[in-house]
Amino acid sequence: MDEKRLSSADELEELRKEVLSKRDPAKPIVTVCTGTACQIYGSLDVYQEFIDEVRKQGLEASVAEAKATGCHGFCEQGPVVVIFPQEICYVRVKAEDVSEIVGTTLAKGEVIERLFYEDPVTGEKIARDPDIPFYKHQMRIVFGSNRHIDPRHIDDYIAFGGYAALSKALLQMTPKQVLEEVKKSNLRGRGGGGFPTGTKWETTRDAPGEPKYVIVNCDEGDPGAYMDRSLMEGNPHAVLEGLIIGAYATGSHEGFIYVRQEYPIAYQNTVQSIEQAHEYGLLGQNILGSGFDFQVKVHRGAGAFVSGESSALMSAIEGKAGEPKMKYVHTAVSGIKGSPSCLNNVETWANVPLIIGKGAGWFNSIGTKESKGTKIFSLVGKVNNTGLVEVPMGMTLRELIYDIGGGIPHGRKFKAVQTGGPSGGVIPEQHLDTPIDFDELTKLGSMMGSGGTVVMDEDTCMVDTARYFITFCCEESCGKCIPCREGLRMLREILTDICEGRGEEGDIEAIEDIAQVMQDASLCALGTTAANPALSTLKYFRDEYEAHIKEKRCPAKACKSLTSYYIDPEKCTACMICFRNCPTEAIHGSKNMVHWIEQEKCIKCNTCFEVCPPRFSAVRRISGEPLPPPPAPGTKPVRDKKG
């Protein structure tokens, strides 16, 4: 018998106590984020440096440990280091900073102000991570453990109460009771559609046929979305624990974790967590002495957006091309090899141990009437604080973007937010006070989706945004059904024409007609929802489409074919800044001569506009009006450089 194998709830509890007893809560623990983004910024070196420095400075006895954790969420500030128990947060830490952190903060308990996060809005330097606005307004019930746990060590997960919910489910509840608890919690799927999880589990449990399968969907193909990757990397045991509980409730003894090929760390950590769970008797035969058996395999996805769709994903697991099939019956009834197969998203599974551990009542106390619990979003785009955020359902979009995201950079105006990824839509300013909830977002013509959230400012063209998402879906469509394949190709062509000044009367109506056919006749939800970005931008920003088509004008001055750059000779001080920064040497002039742009050489990269000091504002973007002639050669500036 393997000595690590746990055969009862008591043995699990004893192990938890034993791990905790080896830790002195008064001693500092350093957690270094080693999520994908922080690794790119060099966090593995930072982590190694902590191990070496603690030893070098003779502090092994006074520091509890240095831990490599998963993503903390505030990736743009990486590498992020948090020192517990005070929760001192240092951002953009380099390996060179570590000896000072060890000598000052760990040895003497003093803080290093230069490594604090600085609020871009107020300029305030903030010492503790719970006080940083980005974190302060969040409710991190699912994602919060990432900053505490080393995902490569099952003991660490167990020390934080991991697998206690599994023990409760297997040893104190019947499968039916587990199922009823999940139904009562009103948990809805976090992968896009918001389908009630308990109902899906029940369908699989009641469907005839054996074996039954349970599956984790970690395909996550939406551009800009990385919530599932970060959970799978940072807390794989939570997902695995949820999956085993789901297997027990649905009567399944075999499962799959489908991980996208491009997620190497998520894959490694998942495989390792499965091995460790086996060693501890939390997977395999007679789990925790309950008599319940369950095995799980990892399937590496081939990195196609469409393969995240349920029937496509199951075809891929069967070894076929990851393309959708016509669903005459739900995959919950007939999925992998025709067997009942219950597929849920990573975040959905990660909620399950919390629901079983804390109860459906606790879960129901968070959120809105129809959408319970929290949701993790990847907040990206034109917003001051970008990263992964977890908020209670019901928080408004305004709170998400302004309180957590810190608003729009450079004093620009908010224009819209795209939720739901390529199948979602844009939501304009007048709906910013809408509570985040599956049904509320759908009513606005968008959707919750898996959580990709792109904030756009006044410089974003809505036609170009639609073109971007349609192009993405066009490239990702499997091409099997004509409405999706040809519809997307036609939409891309029309939108490109509009953005490039070739739009014609009737284009808007053509978009609407094609979208209707795609919605009615596509094979899978990629096709039925792919026109949403075009329809929602048309719904809220039809005037922008009309300006492009009728006046050949891009109101946001973003479409390159419809925009020119011009230096106002009345405002130019001949400061040479744009002249020096232009990458194509399109700007002429000298220290004493106003500058002008040679239009044939200009690639419209926006550099001159960005570098021209705001006190001069001499560079103008022009769209839909004639370009003024350049100044006569040798024209002297009329303003001096002091502005």
C-alpha dist (Å) from residue 495 to 85, 458, 538: 54, 20, 12
Q: Which does 78 bind (CB under 5 to 8 A by kind): ligand FES, ligand FMN, none?
A: ligand FES
CB of 366 to ligand FMN, least distance (A): 18
Residue closer to ligand FMN, measured from CB, 352 or 495: 352
Strand runs labelled E in 273-365? 295-301, 341-345
Please report, to the nearest 10 degrees, the dihedral formed by the alpha carbons of residues 203, 207, 209, 212 taken in order: 10
Residue closer to ligand FMN, measured from CB, 160 or 195: 195
Residue closer to ligand FMN, measured from CB, 51 or 525: 525
Output Rg (C-alpha) for the chain, integer angstroms.
Answer: 27
* Alpha helices for 81-163 (secondary structure H): 98-100, 107-108, 133-136, 154-159
Residue closer to ligand FES, measured from CB, 71 or 312: 71
Let me know how long the chain is: 643
CB of 233 to ligand FES, least distance (A): 8
Residue closer to ligand FMN, measured from CB, 356 or 556: 356
Q: Which does 571 bind (CB under 5 to 8 A by kind): ligand FMN, ligand FES, none?
A: none
Distance CA 10, CA 24 (A): 23
Distance CA 37, CA 228 (A): 14
Q: Which does 483 bind (CB under 5 to 8 A by kind): ligand FMN, ligand FES, none?
A: none
Residues in touch with ligand FMN (CB under 6 A):
189-193, 195, 217, 219-221, 305-306, 308-310, 343-345, 348, 450, 524-526
Distance CA 192, CA 424 (A): 10
Residue closer to ligand FMN, measured from CB, 82 or 524: 524
Residue closer to ligand FMN, measured from CB, 352 or 567: 352
**C-beta atoms surrounding 592 within 10 Å:** 10
Q: Which does 219 bind (CB under 5 to 8 A by kind): ligand FES, ligand FMN, none?
A: ligand FMN
Query: E strand or H helix at 218, and its extent?
Result: strand 213-218
Q: Which does 53 bind (CB under 5 to 8 A by kind): ligand FES, ligand FMN, none?
A: none
Q: Which does 33 bind (CB under 5 to 8 A by kind): ligand FMN, ligand FES, none?
A: ligand FES
Residue nearest to ligand FES (CB): 35
CB of 75 to ligand FES, least distance (A): 3
CB of 145 to ligand FES, least distance (A): 14
Distance CA 438, CA 225 (A): 18
Q: Which does 408 bind (CB under 5 to 8 A by kind): ligand FES, ligand FMN, none?
A: none
Residue type, 43: S
Residue 42: strand pairing partners: none
Residues in touch with ligand FES (CB under 6 A):
33, 35-38, 71-75, 78, 80
Distance CA 175, CA 356 (A): 12
Q: Which does 217 bind (CB under 5 to 8 A by kind): ligand FES, ligand FMN, none?
A: ligand FMN
CB of 269 to ligand FMN, least distance (A): 18
Q: Are strands 452-457 and 374-381 parallel, antiparallel or unpaired?
A: parallel
Q: Helix (H, G, I), strand (E, B), or coil: what is residue 356?
A: helix
CA 33 to chain centre: 17
Please report, to the nearest 10 degrees, the dihedral formed by the alpha carbons of residues 252, 258, 259, 260 taken in order: -170
CB of 526 to ligand FMN, least distance (A): 4
Q: Helix (H, G, I), strand (E, B), or coil: what is residue 241?
A: helix
Residue closer to ligand FMN, measured from CB, 92 or 183: 183
